[in-house]
Structure 1
Amino acid sequence: MSQIDEAWGAGPSLRYEDLAKRFRPLFAEIEKGAVSRETGRILPVAEINSVKEVGFGALRLPESEGGFGATLPEFFNLLIELSAADSNVTQALRGHFGFAENVVNTAPGGFRTRWSERIAKGEIAGNAWTEIGNASQATFATHIARKGANLVLNGTKYYTTGSLFADWIDVGATGLDGEAVTVLVRRDDPGVRVVDDWDGFGQKLTASGTTIFSNASVDPIDIVLDDDKFRYAAAFYQTVHLATLAGIGRAIAKETALAVAARTRQFSNAAGPRSSQDPQILQVVGRIRSNAYAAGAIVLQVAASLERAYAGHFAGNAEAEERANAVAELETSQALGVVTNLVLEASTILFDTLGASAVKSSAALDRHWRNARTLSSHNPRIYKDRIVGNFAVNGTPPPYQWRIGETPTAVSTAQTGAAPAAA
């Protein structure tokens, strides 16, 4: 059944349905085991291997390089469908999708050829950027060093989403001369240890825990200056979250409708003999589905802005590219709070359509709120609202990148116990 037939609206292109048909059987298989994996805390190793086998990780590669040549709207619409099956799988692949996007933005040459060939073969990259504890905002403690004639990587990362399932790990680090770099290391390198110690209450199966690098081998060709990465990266990574949230919204709509249709027990003070004939229940189900519909539509609008930023990268007009990047970041920021609210509301009011049996752990309906709340905590929406407001009022462009960690002021205050002086 097409996306139009299911009333989710038209796909982002005339060829979208043909592209989606390749992957929908896989999505259906992933969906079948989503609840049992959640309740049993079974990591989606087999599911991600299946994703690799069908080439889903090569969606954005041009067909001439072994991929599917998907546009960004097509790509994000497919992520919505995958997330409706199991949002853990999408989140676990987020780091790979960002790395692959950087590859398709890279000019022809050794780096692009090397990595496009690997991606086309089904290899995927995990993510290792964030450092916790007293990590600095300004620099990474994880660093590249010389060991004899070779380069090695040392450091510890957390929130290394998807690295446990990956062939490679994309690491944010400090280079030999103190510069900010990213570097790719093999997941199976003897100097790499990935620990499944993620203890978040949501997205439990993404293996977003610790990765330790102890003299892990580094190939100089795989070191990239941070400033050379694609400029709309922050907007891209955030839109992966938005697509995942929209997919969660669709999963909520589907599971709620099925549960209401199957329910035979009814309250004596209800407005109908069965939940499926109760206008008050149907109204809530309709609201849930409408929230999911709106979330998906917003994601596709944002994806179109990213497609313009991608095209601008190759247009040879630096001013136009800068403008397209800023607009993409703003559109993403404008969408964040709205999509988050739509899906969080749907994940809460679904319980108004069902009885107390819906809160059983075996039903795993709570996973939708937990997953949505976890995703929407990554980049706080209050900051996005401020950034959008600052643009609307003062014309201030948005920041493209951000980091989390201690600021010099915070470190000084913590050490002295004194509050910073007023400006």
Structure 2
Amino acid sequence: MTQIELAWGEGPSQEYDGIAGRFRPVFARIADGAAAREVAQGRPAEPILWLKEAGFARARLPVEEGGLGLRLSEQFALLIELSEADSNVTQALRAHLGFVEDIVGLPHGERRALWAGRVARDETVGSAWTEVGDAPQFGFSTRLAERNGRHFLNGAKFYTTGSLFADWIDVGATREADGETVAVSVRRQAPGVSVVDDWDGFGQIGTASGTATFVDVDVADEDFVVEAGRFEYSPAYYQLVHLATLAGIGRAIVRDVGTLVSTRRRSYSNAPSSQPRTDPQVLQVVGRTRGAAYSAGAIVLQVARSLDRAFEARLAGDAEAYRRAVDIAELETSQALPVVSSLILDAATVLFDAVGASATRKGLALDRHWRNARTLSSHNPRIYKDRIVGDYAVNGTPPPEQWQIGTPAGA
């Protein structure tokens, strides 16, 4: 069935349902094991492999370079559907998708050719940027040093989402020679690289977002680049992946609670109907969750169009127009974040009102929807977004170009 026939609204393009048809059988296969993986705290290594085999990891790469040539809005619509199947899988691929987004906007040259070839071979990239403890707010304790004409990486990272399942790890580091922030790519299986799944958060437990350490890892000259040269709409891009994931969680809530209500036989003596499936108050709860999921998805696709425009401005090479498009994309994302997260967090709570105490049984894993949504909504604090948007509305202040977390200088 098409998006329209499912009442999720029109897709991002006329071609979208044909595009999605390639991946929907894989999404269904992933969904079949999602609850069981959650209960067992299993990792989605196999689902990620299935997606790679289907070409999902190279969806944004142009056809002539071995990819599928999808627009950003088409990719984000797919991410909603994938997140309905298992939000852990989307989160585990987030770093790879962002890395590829940077590559497809580069001019044709050595770096693009190198990475387009790797992506076309379905090689994936994990993330290792955030440091914990007394790590500085700007710059990194992780260092890239040069010795005898060779470069070596040393340091430790946390929140290394997806790195355990990836072929490469994208690492943020400070270059000792000049203090520049550089993005370093190292093979996950390279000597000196260690990835440990010690992530102990209550949500997104299958993403292996734990610790990575790097001890004298040999880095080739072509595998690091000054970070400032990367795509400028990256904050909006990475945040919109979270929002697409939340929209998918909303759809999963509708699917799960709808199935439970339609098959439930027990009813309360004080209920207005003898069957939950015809109980108007229960149906109201289910309808409320569906309205939240629908609205979240519509918002995500609207914001995705702003990223399409930012990408096109990047390719056009007009720096001023690119900056304007990036600011608008960041503002649209900031406007969407508090609304989408609130819609889905609310839906993940009220779903239990439609079923009762039996819905809290661990085997159903319905609590994963709230835990995952709450974890995603904590990545980029919602409290700052309304202020940033309000400052633009009142004073015309553009959004911050980038944000980082760490210990401020002098603290």
Q: TM-score range by the shorter chain?
A: over 0.9
Question: Equivalents in 2 of 1:147, 1:126: separation in Å?
Answer: 26
SS at match of 2:270: coil
Give the structure 2 partner of residue 300 of structure 1. Answer: 301
Q: TM-score, normalised by structure 1?
A: 0.96
Structure 1 position 367, deviation (Å): 0.2
Supply the distance in 1 between the matched residues of 2:249 and 2:121 (Cα, whole angstroms): 29
8 Å CA contact 1:143, 1:174 repeated in 2: yes
In the alignment, the residues of structure 2 paired with residue 243 and residue 203 of structure 1 have an alpha-carbon distance, to the nearest angstrom, of: 15
Deviations 1:398-421 (A, max 9, x none): 0121110000142xxxxxxxxxxx
Q: Cα deviation per residue 1:237-285 (whole Å; 9 max; x = unaligned)?
A: 0000000000000000111111000100000000111110100000110
Cα shift readout 1:2-21 (whole Å, capped 9, x = no counterpart): 11111101110011011100
TM-score normalised to the size of structure 2?
Answer: 0.99
Partner in structure 2 of residue 166 of structure 1: 166
Query: 2:57 & 2:140 partners in 1: Cα distance?
Result: 28
Partner of residue 140, structure 2 = 140
CA distance in 1, matches of 2:349, 2:77: 24
Q: Which runs of 5+ in 2 are unaligned?
A: none
Aligned to 2:377: 376
Once the two structures are superposed, what CA deviation does each residue of 1:268-308 show, in whole Å capped at 9, x if it has no partner? 00011111010000011001000000000000000000000
What CA distance in whole angstroms lies between the structure 1 residues aligned with 2:254 and 2:152? Answer: 48
In the alignment, is the contact (CA less than 8 A) between 1:166 and 1:187 conserved in 2?
yes
Residues 219-238 of structure 1, C-alpha deviations (whole Å, 9 max, x = no match)? 11121111100000000000
Structure 2 matches for 1:299-318, cutoff 5 A? 299-318=300-319
Distance 1:316 1:189 in 2: 37
Q: Deviations over 1:95-152 (max 9, x none)?
A: 0001000101111011101111111111100000000000001210101012333211
- CA shift for structure 1 position 192: 0.2
Show the counterpart of 2:350: 349
Deviation of residue 217 (structure 1)?
1.5
User: Counterpart of 2:108 in structure 1: which amino acid?
Assistant: P
Counterpart for residue 12 of structure 1: 12
Amino acid at match of 2:51: V
CA RMSD in angstroms, aligned pairs only = 0.7
Q: How is 1:390-401 mapped onto 2 (pairs within 5 angstroms)?
A: 390-401=391-402
AA aligned to 1:379 is: N
The residue correspondences of 1:5-404 to structure 2 (distance < 5 A) are 5-175=5-175, 176-404=177-405
**Stretch moving more, 168-177 or 228-237:** 168-177
Between the aligned partners of 2:410 and 2:172, the Cα distance in structure 1 is 23
Secondary structure in 1 matching 2:154: strand
Tell me if structure 2 keeps the 8 A contact 1:55–1:121: no
* Counterpart-to-counterpart distance in 2, 1:316 and 1:123: 29
Give the secondary structure class of the aligned counterpart of 2:98: helix
Name the amino acid aligned to 1:125.
Answer: V
Q: d(CA) in 1 for partners of 2:407 and 2:174?
A: 17
Alpha-carbon separation, structure 1, partners of 2:229 and 2:8: 38
| 2:6 counterpart of 1:3 | no
Give 1:340 shift.
0.2
> SS at 1:314's partner residue?
helix
The AA in structure 2 aligned to 1:181 is V
The amino acid across from 2:29 in the alignment is: E
Task: Note the C-alpha offset of 1:315.
Answer: 1.8
| Runs of 4+ with deviation above 6 angstroms | none
Q: In structure 2, the residue corresponding to 1:199 is in which secondary structure? A: coil
In the alignment, the residues of structure 2 paired with residue 219 and residue 399 of structure 1 have an alpha-carbon distance, to the nearest angstrom, of: 33
CA contact (8 A) 1:242 1:299 kept: yes
- Return the alpha-carbon distance in structure 2 between the equivalents of residues 138 and 290 of structure 1: 41
Cα deviation, residue 50, structure 1: 1.1
Q: Tell me which amino acid in the other structure corresponds to 2:75.
A: F
Whole-angstrom distance in 2 between the partners of 1:107 and 1:290: 42
2:70 alignment partner AA: A
C-alpha separation between the residues in 2 aligned to 1:316 and 1:122? Answer: 29
**Whole-angstrom CA distance in 2 between matches of 1:184 and 1:383:** 31
Q: Per-residue deviation at 1:320?
A: 1.2
> Which amino acid in 1 is paired with 2:36?
S
Q: Which amino acid aligns with 2:212?
A: T
Kindly indicate whether the alpha-carbon contact (under 8 Å) linking 1:233 and 1:400 is maintained by their aligned counterparts in 2. no
Please tell me the residue identity of whatever aligns with 2:253: I
Structure 2 counterpart of 1:98, which letter?
G
Distance 2:395 2:128 in 1: 36
Distance 1:389 1:217 in 2: 47
1:46-70 per-residue CA deviation (whole Å, 9 max, x = no partner) reads 1111111111010100111111111
The aligned counterpart of 1:418 is: none
Partner of 1:414: none
* Distance of 2:105 and 2:141 partners within structure 1: 28
Give the share of equivalent positions with the same residue, in percent. Answer: 59
Q: Secondary structure at the match of 1:217?
A: strand
Q: What residue is the counterpart of 1:417 in the other structure?
A: none
Equivalent-residue separation in structure 1 for 2:269 and 2:218 (angstroms): 68
Question: Unpaired runs of 5+ in structure 1?
Answer: 411-423
